[in-house]
Structure 1
């Protein structure tokens, strides 16, 4: 089928008009977008300045408790700013002090911004029109301001109308110009066709001159120049858009936050540079399953994303980092539902919070220890004195040696109870660097045997077997005997509690050479249920205990760890669930000990 033939003049008109129309539409779109961005940026700057100004103006009135002055400030600001729709002031607890609402503050506005840190403006719909909600915070509270974007929308609508009118005028002008430019060409074509039909082979130059071919060439040159200008303008616009895109991407990468966008099925759609480097995202789906919630009642991150509802919570990554993750439902470019995820590293805040909790507990322990030391030491002192008097009377009466040994045990246990009370008081008042020790040359094997002897009765009562195996001729160490005795008693006591009836606890000591020097190693092994890695990581933390039902305080091993570390040693733990536990206490040999 033959293609329909179209006159050259028609093609010129259609081509020029279509080209100008497309260029006009593209240019109008770019201009509208740039104007929209500039107007919104101007609105954000104005709203931020207004919020900061109200924050400064309200400071004195808030601090002096003058709500009347606050309302006057808000009313005056609203009267002087037509685009301001509302404003309200909150104290540090989040309670509203003053506002401009006639019927109370909508609850949705109160939870729009976090109150403990600066937050960028939020785009909302208020009273049926778009608006920006700005927040400014201070030590005493904060200010919230709503700035309407109705004026921006009206200006943008006028810009669109002007752009459309300019494009239409350009198209009309182009059509007229094309008709004028193509008229000489059409005349020339008809003249050539007529002359050829008449058999004329020579064309009169004068006739050709009347066709204004030179003007036709000039007109085409003019159109080409205009086209080049349009292309250059579009190129500049494209470079501007590309630069803005790069700016936004750089902004995402330098925010200090990891940002991701995932689809409703959990597939990754976007991740900024920090997210890619932090999470080593390879599999678009499985990486999100590596986050575990800190709150046991909280669902997994994957389920929170699948729910498609806004959420916020604390999750721990595979490397142990804790993130405050906030999810906000959005729409992708294609209109499909997606989820914007913001990852904020709060590991230091969590650690500081835990440290604060421990410090508060230590303050409580200090006051408790002081009370115990005052209320218990006097009765213990009397018990020790009575035990000594009873021992002297028993010796004069010639009672059996076993009776004298039992009295000595009573005196020794009472003395140790007093020493433990003093150590608890010292633990609450001193750090690991200045914990007071009373060192002297001591036989470590004798201390280990003494610790085992004190716990023999408990092991028998629980149906457990307590065995000791110590190397011969171990050198004496310069240490605090009461402190090391406390360490061994705590470790052995925990082992006995772990094994239960029918279990066994083995205490042994030996001399060992390691990469960092020579040590006396005291090992306490049991065949109990063992410990998980999570329990082992916390076992030396003050107030951590697994004996909630048996009266554990969580301080025994914490004190033991301090004592051993101040002796220059360390405690190593090896345990597996179902395979028992081995605790190794390493005490370094000093020069005198190495010489022996």
Structure 2
């Protein structure tokens, strides 16, 4: 009731204000028009007076036909009067004796003309053009001031009327309105608490009545099922079922279960739903009881996709662990026949001097046997089953260069520009040369994988200091797509990879990390998405060779 009264009063005030504003606008326009007429008349009289004065001052020069003096006078007069745009002295035959003119973009011009005569003789005509823009500007300012004053006056009167009517007409209703408002606030508070409770849950919740009409839902439900607002606003269970069932791998099974629950409202139920895109939801459904009577049904959905993935990853990890142990055993078994093959190949090489045709095949056997042995040793390093740790006291640069020579062909094919920057004075470290090369190869291959369309790959060595000790630092940097922050902490986990299936095992960085740590070094990474990556490897510098120098 109070709102209806306020509306009526508001309409009356609006009509009164509109009529008053129209009246004041008409009055303002009349005042501005009258003031413009008065100012223009004053300006015209001033121009005519100026013309009369100019005629008097130029008459003598015109009598003497001293047109140069006339022209100088006109120029001086025009220069001293900023609103004067043009002055001309014109003979009776139309010939212009003298003229002063300046460029202007004036919006309001006034033209005037006066004759110069002496004893009845017509000597010349003086014509002027003046800028009357100042008059228009004055009128604009006056008009703006009047409009502003009118608006302020109307606003003041409108507020005064509204306040008067509010105090006199609405006071009897204040008590009733206040009580209603308090009751509404209590109800709104209860509804807000219920809504906040629903929205704070991790599950998607849907409440329908016995006819399937949607009564309430939280935003989590719509977001989980990716339901557009147009479908949710329909408030019909049938429309929702049609939309959500299309996303499931077994829609008929789901719809059959829904029909079964609607046929038996007292039943409670739960199961798992598998989506076509790989998501997995746990579904719970139970009757909605109010005062001992079933009013509908409550559906609850929980996204367990990540949970299922973690369970599968754990199972896969256990399988890979078993495979790793098996691989370590196989590597031990392969080591012995490889040693025999390598030994016999080297012996045959020493005795093949008389048969040149055997030299190339034997050297190929030796080279490939050595490569296989190194691969086995790398596998044993990662599985921690190798008891050897053969290291050399060397300058690592030649070994790094040898490793880079292996990837040159791929770099050229992939349009990757390879650059190196090695320190001038050699720094010797105790390192397994093959494992050092394995680290460099793994980092460089990963860098090129990050630049499928080409880019720059740089390898740099430099002295560094860490924890008070001297280290050799090897930087491998690329201009690829970078590494997102959320996966940096998992880079060195075994079998973790972001590459497509079949393109990566997730062991490259893990192996590099294991090798560097076994050499009492460190490996660090600096990267951000879209800005490239820098891997920094640190090996301790040693002045003494290790005890097992080969």
User: Which TM-score band (shorter chain)?
Assistant: 0.3 to 0.5
Over alpha carbons, which structure has the higher Rg?
2
**TM-score using structure 2 length:** 0.41
